[in-house]
A and B are shown apart, each in its own frame.
Chain A
Amino acid sequence: MKNPIEKLNKVFDSRIRLGIMSALMVNEEVNYNALKELMEVTDGNLASHLKTLEENGYIKTSKNFIGRKTNTTYTVTKAGEKAFKEHISALEKMIKLLG
């Protein structure tokens, strides 16, 4: 049997990145401010995690305007959804194996 650790996604090692993905999985889109409040992190920290996720093709950014303010929203991509589900099932398998 293959070692399930190999299936664990390195990108999701970070609690914040996993948190962002969790929020995006259950919402059509989440904007930057809502993510910041949910994760309770600083701007710089959040921005760098978002960048990592986007570079891996797991999330999509879209910028639009509400009045004069920019509103940046994030959605999960097909690839992101697949990677997240695989990560969860790897976690579940490991719990079963270890238990």
Chain B
Amino acid sequence: MDEQLQHLDTLKDIKRMMERSSRFISLSGLSGIAAGVCALVGAWLANGVIESSARYSNTHEVRELRRTSLDSGADLQTYLGNTLIQIALGVLIAALVLGFLFTYLRSRKTNTPIWGTTAKRLLINVSIPMIVGGIFLLKLIDIGNYGLVAPGCLIFYGLGLLNASKYTLAEVRYLGYAQILLGIISLQVMGNGLLFWALGFGVLHIVYGAFMWWKYERS
């Protein structure tokens, strides 16, 4: 019986070593929390911009203007679209910088190199679905189909995570499933894009990050 346990241990060792050597394991839960907070701030800003532009377009002067010139509605749309894209880019950059920072700190702590084969593989595999998704979504914005942007973000991001989960902590897979599911639900209840976007990129990231931090980094 002892001998059997010993062989089982050896097999477990082999499995652990295979995983450790082929996956990027420095990903910090704090990175997830930081990305989630950035997304919530971004969603709050975007909500403000959307509301104020809705108020603005309902004022008496603008209604007058719209009656006389057909273009002013389109102008407002373009302005709104540009502002939202700027907010989205700001959120993306802030989330990436903070996400990188916490993961870098963790890799220093655990003494694993941050830039290696595993990091490269993770980055390539998360990027492909996201770049394809980005191109697709820019085209949707281009043709004025804003309603599909938020569900699209969630679905493509979820697919990216799912694809990347083979190369990092396995729990990332569940975050991927959750994002895809949320994206599909938001397709069914159109008109609540920003709310679902905030749920997916904000709340899910924070929940995931907190769970991962609690599981692996709490000391």
Contact of B14 among A18, A38, A98 (CB under 8 A): A18
Nearest chain A CB to B199's CB is how many angstroms away? 36
Q: Does A69 contact B (CB under 8 A)?
A: no
- Does A23 contact B21, Cβ atoms closer than 8 Å? yes
- Does A37 contact B111, Cβ atoms closer than 8 Å? yes
Complex CA gap A95/B192 in Å reads: 55
Q: Does A48 contact B (CB under 8 A)?
A: no
Q: Is the interface of A mostly helix, strand, loop or mixed?
A: helix
- Does A33 contact B113, Cβ atoms closer than 8 Å? yes
Contact of B21 among A18, A33, A38 (CB under 8 A): A38
Nearest chain A CB to B117's CB is how many angstroms away? 7
The interface size bin for chain A is: 20 to 34
Q: Does B74 contact A (CB under 8 A)?
A: no
Interface string of B10-37 (1 = CB under 8 A from A): 1101110110111000000000000000
Q: Does A66 contact B (CB under 8 A)?
A: no
Question: Which residues A15-50 have CB closer than 8 A to chain B?
Answer: 15, 18-19, 22-23, 25-27, 30, 33-34, 37-38
- Does A37 contact B22, Cβ atoms closer than 8 Å? no
Contact of A26 among B1, B8, B10, B22 (CB under 8 A): B22
- Does A18 contact B111, Cβ atoms closer than 8 Å? no
Subset of 11 A-B contacts with CB under 8 Å: A18-B14, A19-B13, A19-B14, A23-B22, A30-B21, A33-B113, A34-B116, A38-B20, A88-B14, A91-B7, A94-B4
On B, residues with C-beta under 8 Å from A are: 1, 3-4, 7-8, 10-11, 13-15, 17-18, 20-22, 111-113, 116-117
On A, residues with C-beta under 8 Å from B are: 15, 18-19, 22-23, 25-27, 30, 33-34, 37-38, 88, 91-92, 94-95, 98-99
